[in-house]
Amino acid sequence: MGWEIKGWICGGYVAARGDGETVFIYRRPNWGGGLSGLKTFFELRNRGELVGRIVREGSWRPRARAEWLADAERPLNETDLMEITAALNLQLV
């Protein structure tokens, strides 16, 4: 199933799937990590709960690391997280 990034809504982005499932994506500051601007963090929330985190390094060779954080049964899975990460790489530089 394909995810589409809808754009800026209420301080973040919205990723929507064809069946109506949505994920809200918020950019978070990297305070407290001791990384001083080397990484960009995105939190993914579905139905009010944190389900994943995407960390992008701002180095000469940019990399993104997606981390699945949900522990309960959800209509989303790690494959959805990978598809959203790929869509974000195209949208957010």
C-alpha–C-alpha distance, residues 26 and 9, integer Å: 10
Q: Enter the DSSP assignment of 48.
A: T
Q: Residue 93: what pLDDT?
A: 46
Look at residues 51, 64, 50 and name the one whose alpha carbon lies nearest to residue 93. 64
Write out pLDDT tens, residues 22-59: 999 988 766 655 555 556 788 899 988 889 888 876 66
Report which listed range, 1-10, 20-29, 65-74, is most confident. 20-29
Write out pLDDT tens, residues 70-83: 877 778 888 888 88
Q: Residue 8: what pLDDT?
A: 72
